[in-house]
Chains A and B, each alone.
Chain A
């Protein structure tokens, strides 16, 4: 009898511990950055359409395979309107605005608070007109 209760208690304890571990892991993972690989080739973003959850950190790993400079600037239309006439030669102060040198890789981590749709564009001269832009959809999480 005692042995049965002991085994049952042990089982319950293990199950509780496992459940807690799983829950804790899930919580931890929700705070781990989601990694998105983005390639720039022939002055195009690949993929050009990305979906990420709101509220979770997202690390963008941007690989520039071209032998020329590029930018990855994500935001709404108002932000892009400013950059179309901007004069900053290099972007490295904000995680949503990144310059990527020729044949290099840059990482940037961003947490998008609200669901919605943004665009990412390279604003170097002629690049947007050439088609260097994409869409970022932020889902409800």
Chain B
């Protein structure tokens, strides 16, 4: 069982689907050119070795089909329609004055991929996949998704640690036929057995470049106060907005929602706000919910399972080698300046 655990949160990539006239060279975009799949708030609860990941796909208008891909730490035991008010209730708990202030991260978006599970939830077709980056990319292409240019590197980043992904295809035409209005969301509840919760953050930047901003809210509900890596200190793109024992009223409200009977009678509520440039969001959020205070560097995406650095330019061995050669050069210069012909002559 891989050490990192859980789920994913957030993000997705907005992939464009080629259900209609397609993208070609030059400008984008999808069917009718106006469809957007927006990503809103996500919730990762962890109890009894299970991560419960809940996210919502918001219908932003338009037609055709769009989708997203989310990395998962392990094969989920279930993917089902999420509760009706869990996300809204969490927002109210931590930001009462912003009752409906969803942060709206844009959802962005292989033949060798193995389809482990297929579920239809409202206008969403969800498929759980197992495969490497090439497999997932090929599967996406075969199913009409057009991945953004950073997808190959991002998929590799995740596949090096877990080869489980969740693809969600959103049929905007079906959503409209169901009477869904712009702004309506479909929440999805994914249950994953794992040793520790995990929230993929880097994928939130998928499809964005340079200084484009990534804004998202991630709620965590754990048995104990969690240790987080990277620490949400604010200057690194993630900020701790709330950290306190969950109120009895919140837990009761959450427990009364659909599929939320797993919520314990006592828990710790954490809210992490992501406010980063796309290029700065090169890591995930590792969580140690056990109380041991040792979140995994692998889960955070800082090192590969074998210990190799995943951060370009942070190869410790090469860095040490460079320092060594620099010191040798400085020592050589020093010796040359110390040596004088007259000294040798005597």
CA distance A129 to B27 in the complex (A): 11
Docked Cα-Cα span, A43 to B110, in Å, equals: 18
Which of B29, B133, B141, B149 interacts with A43 by CB under 8 Å? B149
List residues of chain B with CB within 8 A of the CB of A102: 134, 137-138, 141
Task: Give the docked Cα–Cα distance between A136 and B152 (Å).
Answer: 25
Chain A nearest CB from B305 CB (Å) reads 21
A69 to B149, CA, bound (A): 9
* 0/1 interface trace, chain B 125-152, chain A, CB 8 Å (1 if under): 0000000011111101100001111111
Evaluate contact between A83 and B151: CB separation under 8 angstroms: no
Q: Confirm or deny: B25 has a beta carbon within 8 angstroms of a beta carbon on chain A.
A: yes
B40 to chain A, nearest CB (A): 23
CA–CA, A130 to B108, complex, Å? 15
Contact B152 A124 (CB under 8 A): no
- Residue B23 CB within 8 A of the other chain: yes
Q: Which residue of A lies closest to B153 (CB)?
A: A42
> A103-B138, A125-B146 are contacts. A71–B25 as well, Cβ < 8 Å?
yes
Residue pair B137, A86 in contact (C-beta under 8 Å)? no
Residues of A within 8 A of B152 (CB): 41-43, 66-68
What residues of chain B lie closer than 8 Å to A91, measured between beta carbons?
Answer: 25
* Residue B104, interface by CB 8 Å: no
Report the Cα distance A124→B138, complex, angstroms.
17
Bound CA span A102–B155, Å:
14
Interface membership of chain A positions 47-71, coded 1 if the CB is closer than 8 angstroms to chain B and 0 otherwise: 0000000000000000000111101
Task: List residues of chain B with CB within 8 A of the CB of A68.
Answer: 137, 141, 146-147, 149, 151-152
Assembled-state Cα–Cα distance A85/B29 (Å): 11
> Which residues on the A side are within 8 Å of B24 (C-beta)?
86-90, 124
| Complex interface bits, B4-20 against A, C-beta within 8 A gives 1, otherwise 0 | 00000000000010000
- Do B27 and A67 touch (CB < 8 A)? no
Residues of A within 8 A of B252 (CB): none
Tell me the complex Cα distance, A103–B155, Å: 15
When each residue 26-55 of chain A gets 1 if its CB lies under 8 Å from chain B and 0 otherwise, what string results? 000000000000000111000000000000
Contact with B along A80-111 (1 / 0, CB 8 A): 00011111111100000000001100000000
Which B positions have Cβ atoms within 8 angstroms of A?
16, 22-29, 110, 133-138, 140-141, 146-153, 155-156, 207, 209
